Amino acid sequence: MLFQTLCYVLVWSSLVSTIVVSTSPSTSEVKIQSYEYVAGKSFTGKIYVKNIDLTKVVSVIYSDTTGNWNNNANLVKAAFSESISDTNYEFLTFSSTAISSIKEFYIKYDVSGKTYYDNGSANYVVTTPPPTTTTSSSPTSTATETPPTSTSTAFPSGNFTISTWIKTQEGISRSAMICNINPSEAAKGFIAASLSTSGPEYYHSWTRGLALVSYVMANDYNTTLKGDATTVDLLKDYATYSINSQSTSTACNCLGKPKFNADGSSFTGSWGSILKQSGDDTYVTGTLKPGKSYLDYVVSTWSDGCFDVWEEANGVHFYTLMVMRKGLIQGANFATRNGDTTRASTYTNTANTLKTKIDTFWSGTYGVFKKPVMMSADNSGSLADGFYTPRSDKILATAVVVETIGRYPEDTYNGNRNGQGNPWYLATNAYAELYYRAIKEWTLAGQVTVSSISLPFFKKFDMAAAEGTVYKVGTAAFNTMTQNVALGADKFLSTVKNYALTNGSMSEQYERGSGKSTRARDLTWSHAALISAARAKAGAPFT
């Protein structure tokens, strides 16, 4: 059979929760935001650092369980990760090789001839096995002042049946997703939307699907499959395919073509980044270094409008602008690290322009964003900077109004031709993910306050909610409300569970009447969306 592939089952360990959290930078020069320690496996974390000078050295220094600091030579260096918009702070992250035991640690920041510390009050104490999320106060004026106040909060467990089911389904989905990557006889890095070659013919790579799937893999590489050689190879194949498609001739002679063939050539019918942690610096500065790229193309063409994510409506779209903004901000960080300050500032400026434009999509009259498709935009297009992230009042208000699990209300595409639109697995999964991500954000922030905009959302999960109600982490009210939201999220996942085939296969859609799984078989994106939902349900951090 032409498209037969060797599929391998990946084994992964259970997710670990992040331990310490400061919600925002304030005035101290250095402050831990979060960390995770898995005994004998990994020690990773994220640090707020005031940008005093470009040249800086930030180290995490630790002792083993016997209290031995090895003369402070037990250290992990942190590296630039991203700047934090509208502040003079940036995030640095660290990731160690396996460390058999850690008792305590503190952070040392050397810059411009001075040294700053963050040691809580008397060093951070690592507890093993890790408890669930703990929150701490924001950094204060001197790093050695005010220890983080700790309150333990469990991430809501949701529906037990679904929690059990999703563990198995996540593994099935990961295998199904991998099956659709690099089928034999295709160009390296080709990710088929589905292996279905007729009724419908989906044996193509759509740039958006390719990007979303690779994003899920990149997250896997960062978390559940840390350091996995197969995953990093697949990501490199994806980069190869994308770089080649940028120079492939297309009908529009532009970078805006959304669909490519298995051999890497451009589809001519009608219509319409990550590897640094592998330690392969030459690859990053050589192959990936931004040259003529999609981002340059975005800078010059974003306002021209284009087709929406489903290639149906032409215009300027919320979803597209959100992902463009994210790409530009991440691209600016990447350019900075590669010494390309011109591109870094061009990308940053365009991102700021987009931010203003995106705000105009809110419709005061309806109190919602105009297109529900923004749900998946929000999962994939938001950064950890609070700009229309899942906890945003306006996003929540839209979620509660348009709780559709199809693509959008006017949809008439039945997966092969026009007829009647059906619910989609990926949209249903995206709703669950959105709810869980909102819970994660409230937890990290320490609290959530109900506003007039978000009230209809909260009312759905807590009848007593009123404008001004504050749910504080660690209180019974917070736990009850978040558990109800988690159960709501799991209702979406129940739908997926009910309509997936018994062996876990998910096609593109399920029939609106019978719930029968229909059209393109094992849609790569359906499975990728399930994996991200499972990760969000486990309370994993996201980027």
Ligand X SMILES: *[C@@H]1O[C@H](CO)[C@@H](O)[C@H](O)[C@H]1NC(C)=O
494 binds ligand X (CB under 6 A): yes
Binding test (CB under 6 A) with ligand X, winner from 173, 219, 245, 483 = 219
Residue with tokens 């297309």: 250
Binding mask 524-543 for ligand X (x = CB under 6 A): -------------------x
CB–CB of 457/399 below 8 Å?
yes
Nearest Cα to 224, choosing from 520, 536, 471, 13?
A: 13
Nearer to ligand X, 95 or 248 (CB): 95
- Asked whether position 218 contacts ligand X by CB under 6 A, the answer is yes
Binding flag, residue 159, ligand X (CB under 6 A): yes
Q: Does 161 sit near ligand X (CB under 6 A)?
A: yes
**CB-based contact 420:414 (threshold 8 Å):** yes
320 part of the interface to ligand X, by CB under 6 A? no
Q: Pick the stretch among 200-208, 217-225, 392-400, 412-420 that binds ligand X (CB under 6 A).
A: 217-225
* Residues in Cβ contact with 117 at an 8 Å cutoff, skipping those fewer than 6 apart: 30, 106, 107, 108, 109, 143, 144
Q: Residues 311, 312, 385, 462: which is the catalytic one?
A: 311
Residue 538 sits at φ, ψ, to 5 deg, of: -80, 0
> Token match 């010494």: residue?
339
Which one is catalytic: 29, 220, 308, 393? 308
Q: Judge contact between 93 and 129, C-beta under 8 A.
A: no
Q: For residue 279, give Cα distances in angstroms to 39, 128, 407.
A: 22, 28, 40
Among the listed residues 74, 194, 222, 336, the single contact to ligand X using CB under 6 A: 222
> Does residue 393 carry a catalytic annotation?
no
Q: Please identify, among the stretches 212-220, 320-328, 336-344, 408-416, the one whose residues bind ligand X according to the rule CB under 6 A.
A: 212-220
Question: Would you call 201 a catalytic residue per the annotation?
Answer: no
Residue 137 is a binding residue for ligand X (CB under 6 A): no
Minimum distance between the CB of residue 333 and ligand X, rounded to whole angstroms? 8
Within residues 244-303, the interface with ligand X by CB under 6 A covers: 274
- Among residues 42 and 248, whose Cβ is nearest to ligand X? 42
State which residue, 95 or 449, has the beta carbon closest to ligand X: 95
Binding flags for ligand X, 36-75, as an x/- string (CB under 6 A): ----------------------------------------
The Cβ of residue 420 has, within 10 Å, a number of other Cβ atoms equal to: 12
Between vectors from CA 258 to CA 254 and to CA 263, what angle results, nearest 5°? 95
Can you tell me which of 17, 197, 240, 505 binds ligand X, judged by CB under 6 A?
A: 505
Torsion angle defined by CA atoms of residues 450, 428, 384 and 163, in that order, rounded to the nearest 10 degrees:
90
Query: Candidates 156-164, 294-302, 419-427, 528-536 — which segment interacts with ligand X by CB under 6 A?
Result: 156-164
- Which of 453, 469, 468 lies closest to 397 in space, CA to CA? 453
The three-state secondary structure class of 68 is coil
Angle at 410 between CA 408 and CA 412, to 5 degrees: 100
Nearer to ligand X by C-beta: 94 or 408?
94
How many whole angstroms separate alpha carbon 32 and alpha carbon 35?
A: 8
In the list 37, 106, 302, 478, the residue contacting ligand X (rule: CB under 6 A) is 106
List interacting residues with ligand X (CB under 6 A): 81, 93, 106, 117, 119, 121-122, 144, 159, 161-162, 215, 218-219, 222, 274, 487, 494, 497, 501, 503, 505, 543
The residues annotated with a catalytic role in the active site are: 308, 311
